[in-house]
């Protein structure tokens, strides 16, 4: 393993926004709302875990009605 410790890949707000096709400001709102965990740089900028973002993105569904058989 490297000196960076584990494979903790951090993403910038622009990266996350691009992946969700939303505005970077929206990602900031998600972080403020506690919907997405964020790590702060010493200057106050936010960074997001790629693993968490990927997990949320994987929530793609067809949203079809699968009530009956």
Partner DNA sequence: TGTTATTTGGGTAATTCGGGTG
Partner DNA sequence: CCTGTCCGAATTACCCAAATAA
Q: What residues make contact with DNA under the rule CB under 7 A? A: 1, 12-15, 17, 21-30, 32-33, 41-46
Q: How far is the CB of 51 from a copy of itself (least distance, A)?
A: 13
The interface with a copy of itself within residues 19-58 (CB under 8 A) comprises: 19-22, 26, 30-43, 47, 56-57
Using CB atoms within 10 Å of the CB of residue 59, give its burial: 0 to 12 exposed, 13 to 18 middle, 19+ buried: exposed
Q: What is the biggest distance separating any 2 CA atoms in the chain, rounded to whole angstroms?
A: 55
Element (H, E) at 47: strand 46-49
Q: Which residues are near a copy of itself by CB under 8 A?
A: 2, 4, 6, 9-12, 15, 18-22, 26, 30-43, 47, 56-57, 59-65
């Amino acid at each position: 393993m490297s000196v960076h410790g584990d494979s903790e890949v951090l993403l910038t707000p622009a990266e996350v926004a691009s992946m969700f096709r939303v505005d970077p400001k929206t990602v900031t709102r998600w972080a403020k709302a506690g919907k997405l965990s964020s790590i702060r740089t010493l200057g106050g900028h936010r960074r997001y875990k790629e693993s968490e973002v990927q997990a949320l993105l994987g929530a793609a569904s067809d949203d079809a009605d699968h009530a009956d058989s």
